[in-house]
Amino acid sequence: MMHEKNTIEERELIAARDRYRAEWHKKWIEEGLDFVLTVPLSLPAIENGASEKTTLMVAGYTFLFSIVCFLNTLIGSFFYYFNDFVARLCRWSSARHPCR
């Protein structure tokens, strides 16, 4: 699980992952799912006794994804409210200056 791969092996795994995702998405649509409640582990099941090495890695991935999600939400909210502010400001200035 945790050994190095050459470029060809990595690309084959990425292609297999993408095929799996496409199949998952197709099944998701067919079943009409809204969400899936799962355990919060970003890696496949690990062998008994191998958790010492992978637990820290899983925590790192979870932390990374949480930060990325938080920043995405924060930046998205900022731009939404900024655009709303600019639109209101433009409407306000148009009402004050009808010649424009």
State yes or no: pLDDT of 11 exceeds 70.
yes
The CB density around residue 28, as the number of other CB atoms within 10 Å, is 13
pLDDT in tens, 68-84: 677 777 777 777 777 87
Q: What's the mean pLDDT when you consider all of the chain?
A: 75
**In sequence order, which residues have a C-beta less than 8 Å from that of residue 28 and are 6 or more positions away?**
36
State yes or no: pLDDT of 26 exceeds 80.
yes
State yes or no: pLDDT of 10 exceeds 80.
yes
State yes or no: pLDDT of 15 exceeds 80.
yes
d(CA 63, CA 52): 17
State yes or no: pLDDT of 20 exceeds 80.
yes
Say what the pTM is. 0.37
